[in-house]
A and B are shown apart, each in its own frame.
Chain A
């Protein structure tokens, strides 16, 4: 499965949760598949989905799911020790690991070569790290939400993209709508 197929499959699970979604195609795909006020779309700033999600989870009680990519986690690898050492049990980091930089033309990442982000997350001290194959993600994600334990999910999948438009919503509108959903 490619990322857009995975997002389509887990959209019903994501719908009721606060979601911080990674820059580029992941946000565009989630926006097209199931736009919700509870989705915070990143329009720039590669790498910070996990950091924004962790800050949000530490600041309030609702479950937060950061959707990240292997390339973006590699950009901000320092996030994993911070997550490990500041446990928020309402935080789930979902790394869609397709071994490539999807938004820029599927150039390979090191996660698609010798580097295992699952092993890196464990070595950083993250307590609940689950590696899962794309087709099995739904139940694993639901269990992580229901388990109320900070969890890092590394979802291995195929690289590949669909054609879709950029998000034209104003960033302040995205943010304001999201903050109302957080507070609501």
Chain B
């Protein structure tokens, strides 16, 4: 089974039915799989804080949400995480492509990569880092944990997890 399908299977199995995405090359396969599933309402957002607003509303409307985005979005969403998702105590799985890690070809991506875990730690956001494809076996447990504790939870997925960028 492809890793994209496995990830979306776990989301569906955990009743996640409202997913917003901001694209990333590494996440393209997952986003395509999300779009293809009848069980999921896929709503692309223009910016990640907007996406978190959509997720907050969907959750209050009875649907389990998730957001799929790049780690640069942590810089965009600190205020929304603190004053909406955490302040009102809402669950939000965040499947994040961890750009700027090993095998990264774009130097500027490293500039946010070096802040990513520090920012998540500062925000007291439970954070999991998938480096090998076998790490994804924990995704089901991470999703259950997220909806148990009503917190935003970060799942960082680096280039090694996705098998590099194809041209290296």
Contacts and interface: CB of A to CB of B under 8 A. Distances in A.
Interface of A: 20, 40, 42-45, 47-60, 64, 76, 78-79, 81-82, 86, 171-172, 174-175, 178-179, 182-183
B49 A55 contact: no
17 contacts: A44-B84, A45-B83, A48-B80, A51-B51, A55-B43, A55-B54, A55-B57, A55-B58, A58-B58, A58-B61, A59-B60, A76-B47, A76-B49, A78-B46, A175-B89, A179-B60, A182-B60
Contact of B60 (A81, A82, A178): A178
Contacts of A45: 49, 53, 79-80, 83-84
Given A52-B60, A56-B60, A57-B57, 5 more contacts: A47-B49, A48-B53, A51-B56, A58-B58, A79-B53
A120 B59 CA distance: 29
A82 B41 CA distance: 14
B62 to A, nearest CB: 6
Contacts of A51: 45, 50-54, 56-57
Chain B contact patch, size range: 20 to 34
Contacts of B63: 59-60
B61 A182 contact: yes
Contacts of A50: 53
Q: Is the interface of A mostly helix, strand, loop or mixed?
A: helix
A175 B90 contact: yes
Interface in B29-84: 41, 43-47, 49-63, 65, 79-80, 82-84
A48 to B, nearest CB: 3
A3 B83 CA distance: 24
B57 A82 contact: no
Nearest to B61: A59
A41 B88 CA distance: 11
